Amino acid sequence: MIALRRLIGPLGTSAFLLAGCAGGGAPAQRVEPPMQVAQPVQPAPVAEAKVTAPAPAIADAPPVQTTQATAQPIARSIRQPAADQPVAIPRPAVPPAPAQSACKVRKNVVEWVYISGGCRNGYAHGLGRARSTDGRRSYSGMLADGHFSGEGEYDWGNGVRYTGRFLNGQRNGPGNLLYSDGRSYSGQFKDNVYQGQGTYIDADGARYVGQFHLGSFHGEGTYTWPNGDVYIGRFKANRMDGLGRLDRANGDRYVGALENNEMSGGGTYTWSNGDAYAGNFRNDRMNGEGTYTYADGMKYRGTFKDGRKHGPGALTTESGEIRQQWRDGEKVAEELGLRAPD
């Protein structure tokens, strides 16, 4: 099964690179997507790595001039939860094979021996216990016609354990999956993969609560980083994609559209110092028409390119409007005092 961290690829860096409209800005790091969560029984149901491997950070261009310093948003990477296929841990000694019942348990990845419980037509049926022929795995719970079906507990013998609902030998319905390194998933399963509403907790404490599809973060969800950053919004195939809100522990906030883990489309980014940009974003940077409002009330309306002023614009101050012309963040012309501010 796949999820969001060590592959969301590890839920590299891929997220918010926003060149600031004020001096002293620093580029945002990309959000590292939730990696895919491989199921203990079946590897990776979703073949994608980035909520997997994000793109490298792009060096920020010279900051846009301003009357005050503007801290750049630094977005913690979303690391995609990744639970690789559990590796069997050799035991000092394998316990002796249990006495074999005349009833059979149908093969479930490995061959099984039925230890005790009900039997019908030669197959395990009802409440019972079984152990894999190598003595490592064990199952305790309900069976039907030789399949694990109903409530049960499946132990891989290496620290990985599932408790919940089975249907015809597969995890289906509500359940809890615990990995040996502390990672866990609690929620709905379908055919052994995360499907529906659930909660994934990574070994470092990162947490995703929301909708899953085929083992990936998909739909509405909330991702919380260990440092306190929180994203609430839409996910698509382990990536932040759609409308959402990112609240950072340092006080910065972004509200708007995202695509493939990047700010893209219309949105508003507010820095902790009070500066704000409202307008169009592309590739995690201010691109297109927008308005940059400084904490002291001055506003610049114009066009931006790759996070810098570029093209015509107007700076509105208490004394009037100053029309300006910019090229790649460098002011090339301006006209003073054309009219009083609104």
- Residue 61's pLDDT is 27
Mean pLDDT by 10 residues, the chain (342 residues): 38 36 36 36 33 30 31 38 41 53 88 96 96 96 97 97 97 97 97 97 96 96 96 95 96 96 95 96 94 95 94 92 91 73 50
Residues 6+ apart with CB under 8 A from 148: 108, 139, 141, 142, 154, 166, 169
- Residue 330's pLDDT is 87
- Residue 148's pLDDT is 97
In terms of Cβ atoms closer than 10 Å to its own Cβ (0-12, 13-18, 19+), residue 235 is: buried
Backbone angles phi, psi at 89, to 5 degrees: -100, 120
- Residue 336's pLDDT is 77
- Residue 337's pLDDT is 62
